[in-house]
A and B are shown apart, each in its own frame.
Chain A
């Protein structure tokens, strides 16, 4: 075990890496903007092309913030879930939040086929999707909370989350079967996830949710460490399991639910980042893990977004495909190299 000084060093390194990748992300995109114009945008110089200034300030900058918020938020909720269920396969979506969200969105986009034309006008407002997605997540969350109040066993909640996921997936596929191609396409696009369509006001709203979720997570750091020793043991140390579980579930739901509402269901990050971080920092202390996971998630998302934008090309790739394409090989490589699974 290295001392905590080394870990502080790693944390500082990670922080520098976040800043650097954020700048690289800002400066790369389909449109090639010279570096001096990027600097001029921020330091009040003369930008040679007005639409460049717009692209940086109104499109790329919110996208960078969105990437940082989604990456870190999902990674934290993944970490919380893995610790709560003591299961390395748990991720931000095990509670069925994303399936709830996708059901809400599917009802709005594809349900119009059943409810006739007047709804179609509502579809196009971005807020309708955000609200539908949030309501869907909330509904599942309430069900999970009800179940967790009744159940003493945390594992049962995991199973219930999976069951919700199957249920909603079934309803979504029935909807998909009956809806016209154009609407199906819209739904598919939503499920690809997207970082680049948030306005500043949406970024601010997302930040509020993110901060609340993160603060809640910070309040349970001590209990998280105890939970790793097993629920019985934690009880004997005086941790109130039920209340603690509630706080963790609410924190996760705030993070994962709000991110899904604004950026769509982004896969993989939440599951993989905690493992990546544990391989780099082999500790089980959440005081170190939590900040490291926040920064690791942000870095991974920023890097994936750079790859998805395919700098210099007019085309872009869906972010959801990239997160797994970039992330999965890294996790495999780390696990194979270490020959030791840390959890």
Chain B
């Protein structure tokens, strides 16, 4: 097929020298919708349609996906190349990560959600009501999506995510004619970059302006908090992560969660480290590096000091444990057990930052009620 096309193409060049126009020439120049922090996607608005490009659907991906978003009945230049054409606004959508749900709610389009894998993980209130009244279908667990159920729902599109290349499930779904759009919000490392993916959903729901407005609010709120934190004179040291057996798993210094510590004007013990995922360190080195850290945040799954000490007596050696300066987000859960931080955190970095500032510099935020981080019981 490809060769046929090539032969035909070279013939057409030889015979009548028609010049194929590059998309750039076909297009009137489009308006790029501003995306300032996220590096994984961009949106360009043309006359009558938008092109949504996802650049980093998963780490080290060598593909870029282009999705054409157009309203019903609009003129599309025929020579355009794209992976999927989506009619906007979408009226039936399936998303696959809880991080996608707060964006839908903020844009007021949660009612378009028709199915989700692992409903129990969802805690956002408006969506929870829809689930409890049976309006959203369970699609199975994790990435093992039940394709039959999904296809029978016949959604306009599925917003998927892939850890390393598209899974078999997604290709089956695409074969059945349902477009799968890859969302790469989880690969973003900057707090505001993750939150900016609301514009991805804004484009799909034809609510770009509203998405822009919502994001600007979060951005301003984040920057104000950051400036407030900068006024603190004392910079405490912070440890994050937890031990499993005799290995510590800590976030790298360039990771999403470590950046909050820096912006909250505190010093992360491993701020110099670089990498993706989490770093496994020997217990001895963490004890000698961080034994005197003032605070310890996000100690894995532990909800109470009792659990902490039960799992390992070594924790008693840490100053943060002795002074009861350990804060976790795993105690803040929804009605069905989903951890709120995982769901709402990525789209509300301002809340995470304020939580941390109120922990590290309590005098700056008197009376603040934390959204995610609570002291260990």
Enumerate chain B residues within 8 angstroms of A177, measured Cβ to Cβ. Answer: 144
A contact residues vs B (CB 8 Å cutoff): 29-31, 51-52, 54-55, 58-60, 63, 113, 116-117, 120-121, 123-127, 177-182, 186, 189-190, 194-197, 199, 309, 314-316
Question: Is B323 on the interface with A (CB-CB < 8 A)?
Answer: no
Enumerate chain B residues within 8 angstroms of A31, measured Cβ to Cβ. Answer: 282, 284-285, 287-288
Cα separation A197 to B311 with both chains bound (whole Å): 9
Q: Would you give the shortest CB distance from A311 to chain B, in whole angstroms?
A: 10
Q: Are B284 and A55 in contact (CB under 8 A)?
A: yes
CB interface residues, B 267-310, toward A, < 8 Å: 280-285, 287-288, 291, 301-303, 307, 310
Enumerate chain B residues within 8 angstroms of A186, measured Cβ to Cβ. Answer: 244
Enumerate chain B residues within 8 angstroms of A178, measured Cβ to Cβ. Answer: 141-142, 144
Q: Are B312 and A126 in contact (CB under 8 A)?
A: yes
Cα separation A18 to B172 with both chains bound (whole Å): 58
The verdict on A59 contacting B284 (CB below 8 Å), with A117-B337, A197-B245 known, is: yes
Q: Are A120 and B142 in contact (CB under 8 A)?
A: no
* Chain A binding surface SS class: helix
Q: Would you give the shortest CB distance from B242 to chain A, in whole angstroms?
A: 10
The verdict on A121 contacting B282 (CB below 8 Å), with A31-B288, A58-B314, A197-B312 known, is: no
Q: Mark B229-254, 1 if CB is under 8 A from A, else 0.
A: 00000000000000011110000000
Partner of B282 from A29, A54, A58, A120 at Cβ < 8 Å: A29
Q: Mark B317-360, 1 if CB is under 8 A from A, else 0.
A: 10000000000000001000100000000000000000000000
For chain B, the count of residues having a C-beta within 8 Å of the partner chain is 28
Q: Would you give the shortest CB distance from A120 to chain B, in whole angstroms?
A: 7
Question: Is B74 on the interface with A (CB-CB < 8 A)?
Answer: no
The verdict on A180 contacting B314 (CB below 8 Å), with A309-B282, A316-B280 known, is: no
Cα separation A58 to B82 with both chains bound (whole Å): 61
Enumerate chain A residues within 8 angstroms of B317, measured Cβ to Cβ. Answer: 51, 54
Q: Are B310 and A127 in contact (CB under 8 A)?
A: yes
Question: Is B152 on the interface with A (CB-CB < 8 A)?
Answer: no
Partner of B310 from A126, A182, A309 at Cβ < 8 Å: A126
Q: Are A189 and B244 in contact (CB under 8 A)?
A: yes
Closest to A127 in B: B310
Cα separation A199 to B284 with both chains bound (whole Å): 15
Q: Would you give the shortest CB distance from B277 to chain A, in whole angstroms?
A: 11
Q: Are B245 and A316 in contact (CB under 8 A)?
A: no
The verdict on A124 contacting B281 (CB below 8 Å), with A51-B287, A55-B287, A189-B244 known, is: no
Enumerate chain B residues within 8 angstroms of A121, measured Cβ to Cβ. Answer: 303, 307
Partner of A194 from B246, B288, B310 at Cβ < 8 Å: B246
Q: Would you give the shortest CB distance from A143 to chain B, in whole angstroms?
A: 29
Closest to B247 in A: A316
Q: Are B288 and A51 in contact (CB under 8 A)?
A: yes
Q: Are B281 and A315 in contact (CB under 8 A)?
A: yes
Partner of B280 from A52, A59, A315 at Cβ < 8 Å: A315
CB interface residues, B 169-210, toward A, < 8 Å: none
**Chain A CB within 10 A, most for which of B282, B288, B317:** B282
* Chain B binding surface SS class: mixed
Closest to A310 in B: B282
Cα separation A124 to B307 with both chains bound (whole Å): 7
The verdict on A124 contacting B283 (CB below 8 Å), with A55-B288, A178-B142, A189-B245 known, is: no
Enumerate chain A residues within 8 angstroms of B310, measured Cβ to Cβ. Answer: 124-127
Partner of B301 from A124, A194, A196 at Cβ < 8 Å: A124
Q: Would you give the shortest CB distance from B30 to chain A, in whole angstroms?
A: 39
Q: Are A315 and B301 in contact (CB under 8 A)?
A: no
Closest to B288 in A: A31
Cα separation A58 to B175 with both chains bound (whole Å): 58
Q: Are B301 and A123 in contact (CB under 8 A)?
A: yes
Q: Would you give the shortest CB distance from B291 to chain A, in whole angstroms?
A: 5
Enumerate chain A residues within 8 angstroms of B288, measured Cβ to Cβ. Answer: 31, 51-52, 55
Cα separation A199 to B317 with both chains bound (whole Å): 14
Closest to A58 in B: B314
Q: Are A196 and B246 in contact (CB under 8 A)?
A: yes
Enumerate chain A residues within 8 angstroms of B247, measured Cβ to Cβ. Answer: 189, 194, 316
Q: Would you give the shortest CB distance from B267 to chain A, in whole angstroms?
A: 18
Enumerate chain A residues within 8 angstroms of B15, measured Cβ to Cβ. Answer: none
Cα separation A182 to B141 with both chains bound (whole Å): 14
Cα separation A29 to B285 with both chains bound (whole Å): 9
Q: Are A116 and B280 in contact (CB under 8 A)?
A: no
Q: Are A54 and B311 in contact (CB under 8 A)?
A: no
Question: Is B36 on the interface with A (CB-CB < 8 A)?
Answer: no
Enumerate chain A residues within 8 angstroms of B303, measured Cβ to Cβ. Answer: 121
Question: Is B313 on the interface with A (CB-CB < 8 A)?
Answer: yes
Q: Are B281 and A314 in contact (CB under 8 A)?
A: yes
Cα separation A113 to B245 with both chains bound (whole Å): 22
Q: Would you give the shortest CB distance from A73 to chain B, in whole angstroms?
A: 19
Q: Would you give the shortest CB distance from B116 to chain A, in whole angstroms?
A: 14
Enumerate chain B residues within 8 angstroms of A189, measured Cβ to Cβ. Answer: 244-245, 247
Q: Are A315 and B282 in contact (CB under 8 A)?
A: yes
Enumerate chain A residues within 8 angstroms of B142, measured Cβ to Cβ. Answer: 178-181
Given A58-B313, A199-B313, 10 additional A-B pairs, CB 8 A = A51-B317, A54-B287, A58-B314, A63-B246, A125-B310, A178-B144, A186-B244, A190-B245, A196-B245, A315-B282
Cα separation A51 to B283 with both chains bound (whole Å): 12
Q: Are B282 and A124 in contact (CB under 8 A)?
A: no
Q: Would you give the shortest CB distance from B59 to chain A, in whole angstroms?
A: 15
Cα separation A199 to B280 with both chains bound (whole Å): 21
Cα separation A182 to B121 with both chains bound (whole Å): 13
Closest to A120 in B: B301
Cα separation A54 to B144 with both chains bound (whole Å): 46
**Chain A CB within 10 A, most for which of B247, B284, B303, B310:** B284
Enumerate chain A residues within 8 angstroms of B301, measured Cβ to Cβ. Answer: 120, 123-124, 182
Closest to A198 in B: B246
Q: Would you give the shortest CB distance from A116 to chain B, in whole angstroms?
A: 7
Q: Are B282 and A316 in contact (CB under 8 A)?
A: yes
